[in-house]
């Protein structure tokens, strides 16, 4: 199975900050990586797919990069509504797996 390790697991930041979350895969997954945002008691929401493609309707302050085994999600200027938990997911091979999540909180 492909393991995805996100870092950090917890991040405290301020409105206006630039933040980066890393997702490392235990083996190469090409660009078959997606990022999701989840707020408490809500279903996750797709942000980025195939590593760097922004989902329609998602603000341009979100961006993704990487390929192979290392990927990043960057939020260029944090807004109050961005404080949430973020998950990466690999869809390169079965079983599909998710990272453990990164909880982003207000400093």
Partner 1 sequence: EVQLVESGGGLGQPGGSLRLSCAASGFSASDHHMDWVRQAPGKGLEWVGRTRNKANSYTTEYAASVKGRFTISRDDSKNSLYLQMNSLKTEDTAVYYCVRVEGSTRIDCWGQGTLVTVSS
Binding footprint of partner 1 on the chain (CB under 8 A): 1, 32, 34, 36, 38, 43-46, 49-50, 55, 87, 89, 91, 94-101
Token pair for 30 = 């090409």
Q: Going by DSSP bridges, is the β-strand pair 33-38/85-90 parallel, antiparallel, or unpaired?
A: antiparallel
In this structure, are residues 83 and 105 in contact, taking their beta carbons and an 8 Å threshold? Answer: yes
Number of other CB atoms surrounding residue 52 within 10 Å = 17
The least CB distance from residue 99 to partner 1, in Å, is 8
Q: Cα angle at 36 between 30 and 37, to 5 degrees?
A: 155
Return the number of the residue (75 or 90) whose C-beta is nearest partner 1. Answer: 90
The least CB distance from residue 10 to partner 1, in Å, is 13
Return the number of the residue (80 or 95) whose C-beta is nearest partner 1. Answer: 95
The least CB distance from residue 107 to partner 1, in Å, is 23
Return the number of the residue (62 or 87) whose C-beta is nearest partner 1. Answer: 87
The least CB distance from residue 47 to partner 1, in Å, is 10
Residue 14 burial class via C-beta count within 10 angstroms: exposed 0-12, middle 13-18, buried 19 and up = exposed
């Amino acid at each position: 199975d492909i393991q995805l390790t996100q870092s950090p697991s917890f991040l405290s930041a301020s409105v206006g900050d630039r933040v980066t979350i890393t997702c490392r895969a235990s083996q190469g997954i090409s660009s078959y990586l997606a990022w999701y945002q989840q707020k408490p008691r809500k279903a996750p929401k797709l942000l980025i797919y195939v590593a760097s493609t922004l989902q329609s309707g998602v603000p341009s302050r979100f961006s993704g990069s990487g390929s192979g085994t290392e990927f990043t999600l960057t939020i260029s200027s944090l807004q109050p509504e961005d404080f949430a938990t973020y998950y990466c997911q690999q869809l390169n091979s079965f079983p599909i797996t998710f990272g453990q999540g990164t909880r982003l909180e207000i400093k």
